[in-house]
Copies of this chain bind each other. A is one copy, B any other.
Amino acid sequence: MPDSKPEQFKVGAYKVEGKVDYDAFAKMSGIKPIDDELKQRIAKYTGTLHYMLKRNIFYAQRDMGWLLDEYEKGNPFYLYTGIAPSGAMHLGHLMPFIMLKWLQDKFHAEVIIQIPDEEKYLAKEGLTLEGIHDLAIDDALNILALGFKPKRTKIFFDTEYASTLYKQAVRVAKRITFSTVKDAFGWTGETNIGEIFYTSMQAVPAFLKSVEAGHNVPCLIPLAIDQDVHFRVARDVIDKLGYYKPAIIHSKFLPGLSGASKMSASDPNDTIYLNDAPDVVNKKVGRAFTGQQATAELQRKYGGNPDVCTVCQYYKYLFEPDDRKLEQILDAERSGKILAGEHKADLAKRINEFLRKHRLKKAIMKEKLESFMLRS
């Protein structure tokens, strides 16, 4: 796992580089931590805390205190997040949606899910809108497989919902200059004008329920930190339009199997896709970086470091929600009780078990997808 100083990482909406210093990122971006007091306030309504909150995987926020104030006053919020299709979904992509579902369950909240099927078309080479459409449907099925409430959940593709979105995006776009997106996204003269405009489309669902309701409705967005920049720009604009700024909770990235800060969708070996076959998962996890000692003997003697062991991180982020059991796993790694082979085999088994069930649920969603879709 490469070591780097805070200034050696970069978290952009379209590229993440280096080892991310999450606290430094939050500070730079003006995002507040989710501290113990805030966790307790959340737990007041949710009973137990989601393990991703307890473990600081969702670790930072904007206006979460205000959102709970409103909730206390009887002003409930809706939830919004999304994913831009550009390839098969991987495990890391699920994290904001796992939190989304938990929040929906605990707060009985309405959910809108944006699938911006133009974003990666504009940002990358080699993609067609037709190809992305197929990926968008697959993404929608992967998301809905998590078990969202049918009556409270809507999902849309930008190009199919544009007669609703574009009108509102224009209101946002009017209030954002090229200079602003140049600074925020690093755009240049060579950036295409679709990419330049796109952030307006991502802003719309954060106030769309207020437009439709005819009065202000609070919105909470769970997202991975690389998406914060869109709302860093949009929140002030949404405020100028007379709507509540959306509240946000921010997650860290699921590390790559190589130990990289972010599981990369473009490096197949660093990534476990939701459609990876069991033997592929076994092979990929078998090659994962654990940071264990050079030999079994040395590992037994000195133990390993769970903080750099990607196998341990996968338990922490996704595959061991029970804190006590997680501690046992980390302890076994730390003390040298467990060797890499067994450690990896157990994780691969859990991943494959999760993926098997996930695919069953996904298959069931195929015929239900249409009932979740918004078009206009």
Contacts and interface: CB of A to CB of B under 8 A. Distances in A.
Interface stretch (A171-179, A248-256, A337-345): A171-179
Given A182-B189, A189-B177, A167 B118 contact: yes
Contacts of A268: none
B176 A192 contact: yes
Interface in A91-116: none
A167 B129 contact: yes
A191 interface: yes
A175 B80 CA distance: 30
A169 B194 CA distance: 8
A197 B162 CA distance: 15
A200 interface: yes
Contact of A177 (B193, B199, B375): B193
A163 B343 CA distance: 50
Nearest to A160: B163
Contacts of A122: 170, 173-174
B163 A178 contact: no
B162 A176 contact: no
A197 B192 CA distance: 9
A167 B178 contact: no
A182 B194 CA distance: 14
Nearest to A127: B174
A227 interface: no
Residue of A159, A169, A194 ringed by the most chain B CB atoms within 10 A:
A194
A179 B84 CA distance: 26
Contacts of A175: 192
A167 B159 contact: yes
A191 B173 contact: no
Assembly of this chain: how many copies? 2
A196 interface: yes
A352 to B, nearest CB: 38
A161 interface: yes
B189 A193 contact: no
Interface string A245-264: 00000000000000000000
Given A165-B162, A196-B196, A190 B170 contact: no
Interface string A188-211: 111111111101100000000000
A376 B174 contact: no
B178 A190 contact: yes
Q: Counting chain B CB atoms within 10 Å of each CB, which of A162, A169, A181 scores highest? A: A162
A159 B177 CA distance: 21
A177 B165 contact: no
Contacts of A170: 118, 121-122, 129, 159, 194
Contacts of A189: 177-179, 182
A174 B127 CA distance: 11
Contacts of A160: 163
B182 A193 contact: no
A51 interface: no
Contacts of A167: 118, 129, 159, 162
Q: Which 9 A-B pairs have the closest CB atoms?
A: A173-B194, A197-B197, A179-B189, A162-B166, A159-B167, A162-B162, A163-B163, A118-B170, A162-B163
